[in-house]
Structure formats: C-alpha cells, structure tokens
Amino acid sequence: MGDEQYCSKKIVGTYNNVHLNGGKSYGGYALYNRTPSHFVIKIPDSIPSAQAAPMLCGGVTLFSPLKHHNCGPGKRVGIIGVGGLGHFGVLLAKAMGADKVVAISRKTGKANDALAMGADLYVATDDEPDWATKYARSLDLIVCTVSSTKMPMTEYLGLLATGGALVQVGLPDDGVLLAPVGKLQRRLKATSSFIGSPNEIREMFQLVAEKGVKAWIEEIPMKDANQAIVDMHAGKARYRYVLVNEQ
C-alpha cells in the first residue's frame, strides 16, 4: 500500500506506526494487510504488483505535483534528481505529454538511463559549468526531488520562464530549505507537495495502464531486505527496490 493512510482525525503511517485499532503497522514487511475499503484503490490488471507497489508511494508523489501544475502539451518540465523519486517524474511527465522533459542531476552517470526513460535532455550541473546560463528561462515547471539544502536553488529558479513554478518534494534532513526571495520575481512560484490523494492514485494508474509506463525496478527477495537497505543508501538502486516474498 502507499506510505500513508488518511482519516478525519489522524495520519497513520503504514510502516513502523500504530493503527487506530492499536495494531502495529509493518508496511512492506507485512505478510498481509487489512484496510478499510475507503482507502483501497483497485490496481488495473495490466499493472503487475511489483510495478504498482512503488507507484503507490514514489509514483504518486511525482504525479500529484505534475498534475496540479498542468503538466502536459505546451509544458516544458524539469526533474531535479534522477533516483527513486525523480525517475518517476521523467516517466510520468513524458506519459502526460509534456513538450519537453529535462532530467537534471549533478553527474553525467545517469544520462543514458534518463534518456532511455524518455527525457529529451540531460543536464549534469557538476560537469557543465555554464548550465545555469545556457538553460536559463527554458522551463515552465520544475519538480525537485533532492533531499538536501546543499543545492543551487538560485540557479534552479533561474531555469524557469516567467510565471513558472518550482515544486519541492524532497524533504531535506540537514536544515530548512528556503527559496531566494530575490529570484521569486517574474511571477515565479516556489512551493511544495507531499504525496497524493486516492483519486490521484487512481488517475495515475489509469495513465500508467494506458501509456504502458514501466518503473525501473529490481525485485529483491524478502530475506535480502537488510542488504537492499544498505545498497539503497550506497546509491546502487536503479531505481526502486521491491521486496518480494518467495513462493
């Protein structure tokens, strides 16, 4: 299931938390899950469970801001960070019909992957000294998945055309992330997004089924879950690990 369950009084994390009835939530480590029907979303038969699982979390986390900011024909979209979250941004923005999808990362190492996902352009900020001026005002929407305050926010905002928006979905764990006020001229917007509503998940699955979107996943046996966590922190995932129970 997704990362969160919503009710009128409390948000209950579906992993390492306590349900409203007092039971412990085990997330992807659970053998089974019983959920009130209000929160259940039908997965189209054409989407395998291993594909659907990360879409219920990372997928809708990117789909929601893309939809909210009208990603589609006529939009030039940038995705900062090509990882477990960002790769969904590239896949979904392309599926939604954006005129141009630009993947942005620090190094060139993921360029071939991003282009194979459907990106029209890959920008490596550490390896292109003039990237900020070369691509200035070339995007209408940027979704940033980087979970750190140590990024060139001023330059990122400079990539936006007048009236553009930067949406932060990565949650920095090293401080508070603030947009440079001086760069928020030209009607630029700096905003944020969390995960997504049940209806957005349904819309995402419909898009995925219609367009044949395939997440880049690696299935890992449940017995190797601890090693998968170590590998994920080491940056080895390309691009989502999915734990599976052996039959």
Q: How far apart are CA 101 and CA 77, in angstroms?
A: 5
What pLDDT was estimated at residue 116? 98
Number of Cα atoms under 13 Å in the Cβ half of residue 89 = 33
d(CA 32, CA 154): 46
Instruction: List, for the chain, all residue ranges whose pLDDT scores fall below the cut of 70.
Output: 1-10, 247
Q: Can you name the CATH fold of 56-192?
A: Rossmann fold (3.40.50)
Q: What is the pLDDT of residue 10?
A: 63
d(CA 182, CA 154): 9
| pLDDT tens sequence across 18-34 | 888 888 888 878 878 77
State the Cα–Cα distance between residues 156 and 55, nearest whole angstrom.
26
Q: Each residue of 43-58: pLDDT tens digit?
A: 999 999 999 999 999 9
Give the Cα separation of 142 and 62 in Å (integer). 11
pTM of the model: 0.90
Residue 31: exposed, middle, or buried by beta-carbon count in 10 A (0-12, 13-18, 19+)? exposed
Structural domain spans, the chain: 1-40, 56-192, 221-246
